[in-house]
Chains A and B, each alone.
Chain A
């Protein structure tokens, strides 16, 4: 029961609130100008109504008093004139006397009572025969409520009360004057509004002009993003304070903008400076490392040639220890040769132009695996090669990617009885193919995963697994130049998966564009 009642109450309240909100919304949507005009008019009308009401009430009181006085005098006159008729018990003559009331056409009813209080005679205004106020009605005091006023006077003769007279008058006179008051009020109100409205229109500008000025400027600022504009201050009141605050904020924004712009420019300038410095340094370094590698080859070839010649003559002149030394020199020189070759290759990958063609990776991977046939003779290797798509790229470079990755896989599965090497492709995210080479080799610790593709970064000692630390770095550089990415997953003694992605289904021109862009983004020395 209570819940229902409460719900009802809530419903009612919310409806009420809704109405009020709607009304408030209407008021809120009005411009300040309209609000001011409405307030001025409302107050004016309110004042007029109070004055009108007060004057009307006052007039009604004065009118009532005057009328009572008049009626009293009249009642006394009629009463005195009726004394003989009362005394000699002549109601007919009394009626004639009462009929004299006709002269005052507001008198509705006049009654003469004898001393005993019995009705002696009466006069009724002809047109009022149908409805009469009760003759016993006492004087009205109400302002607008009663339509009649009754005055009662005793009639004396020789100091004896010989009767009583009741005079009842209608309030037509008051109603007439009330109507006149209302007409005057309406005319005055119209006149006041006619005078006040233009005044209100011009006076409200005192308040709205600075506000509109402020609003207009705020609009201009937000539209043009021009923070150098200032609002002119026209008054020293709260609006003046607001204008000052607004101008202050604009100045602050302008100041900050300038600072921000300055620091932005200086930052860009510094970045550009550093970039060009880095570019220059990098090119020098590249050229240096290339020429060093290149120049190192000639002496190394001499060393290797002469070590070979010496080894040819060795059995005759050298003892076993010396021959072993020669062998170490020869091995080291060969290793150094590999290193120089790899460095040159890495260097070349960054410098050489890409020759892009449509390449069948299926065929390419088959060729690469076949290339390892000789090397892997005698090993138990299971190859699982999935279908690979055609891609657009530099065939020599991509071949190098697969050669390096497969050679890595073969190298690190060497300790395994049976090596399992999987090569496949899975469509990765949008617009790219992801290739992977998975092995069951020694794997690596995932915490070094980000170091794998770094230059000269090696996770295993070269006594265990030979290598120069340049292979994966080279792969990374090639894949990046093709617009792809490289990453790896692995677990120690379980295996490793190397992934790289290449953009899919792009035609040659697009890819060139991309490559040029990538070339800018990924620093590759070109």
Chain B
């Protein structure tokens, strides 16, 4: 799995607004208290594959989904 590119990110389910995804992958995610996390515009997700995986792994509700 390590080294494979990530092609897409989406959100499914509930977000508890912990904002840890931004801490794990600040280059990819933005966060507002009202809307929760969102993916920054124009991001080449392949460049941030490892940190995106970490954000998804850490997410307490598995709200972050990614596609290889």
- A and B interact physically: no
Q: List chain A positions with a Cβ less than 8 A from chain B.
A: none
